[in-house]
Amino acid sequence: MKTLAQNIIKWVLFFLLVLVIFFAVSANAQIINDDGEEDKLYAESKQVNQFFRRFNGEEDEKGNRYYPIDKEYRNVKLRKKYMGILFDESNPGITRALKKEFTEDVLSKPEQSILDFHGSDWFAEVNAIFQMSGADKTITLYMQLEKNHLGYKWVIHKAHADALDPYFVRDTTKIGRFLHPMSHELDFMNLRKAFANSDSVYQFAVRDFNPDHLSILLYEAKKGNLKFKSVESVRFQFFQIKGWYFELSNFNRAGYNTGWLISNLVKLKADTEKEIMKRYLYHATN
């Protein structure tokens, strides 16, 4: 009986030892995993506002805010550290030399290279799905911040819909329909022919007419012919850094190079190039 009791005690102690080792290993593995996930969490710009703060050097690696009274607030060394993780590494168009030039330009004049959330020269580009004429259409809405009493609000600044482009195509290589220069002597009664054919009415508009898609979309929405369904994608366009344009996009993928990252970067040699780039983004035709 004594031997049996001793064997039982030995087995119980052995079993407890196995449990202790198992939980110790599991806890260690969990700590390693948590640390890895924590590092990834710290490396990721999870919100657009956080991207602003990191670009400007206004928070530490754990997301704690810095304020003007803090020694590290907008510290150049801190900003240089963040600049190394704020680019989409999968885009071959953003070369190492281009990133280096951009970073050096930003850090060489730190006070003039601060992103201003409430400032101008940046906007959101929202690709949204609408139902129009019984079919789903992708429409791009350009959003910008507008001062509203003591605060700010997002408003639709411009819009573009590929579905509307065919309505405004005009062949300028040949003479089309037109109103005779003496039409005023007829009290412009010949305007009748201008509106008789819906396919050619666009030809009677001024040559540099640029269709305002936003007005059309708001009209169609008011009439009940346009229904919002969902947002397909969001990105932000920045012109706040003098001599540069960059695009900000959100990446949800494995690894550390994720979150809100600079997905496109272009050096602008003159203000004229800045306006050309804006017109390109807005789909302006003239």
Pull the structure tokens for residue 260: 């809100």
Each residue's pLDDT tens digit, 233-269: 999 999 999 999 999 999 998 888 999 999 999 999 8
pTM, two decimals, is 0.81
Tell me: pLDDT of 197 over 90: no
Each residue's pLDDT tens digit, 109-158: 999 999 999 999 999 999 999 998 889 999 999 999 999 988 999 999 99
Q: What is the pLDDT of residue 96?
A: 95
Tell me: pLDDT of 16 over 60: no
Least confident piece of the model among 60-69, 124-133, 196-205: 196-205
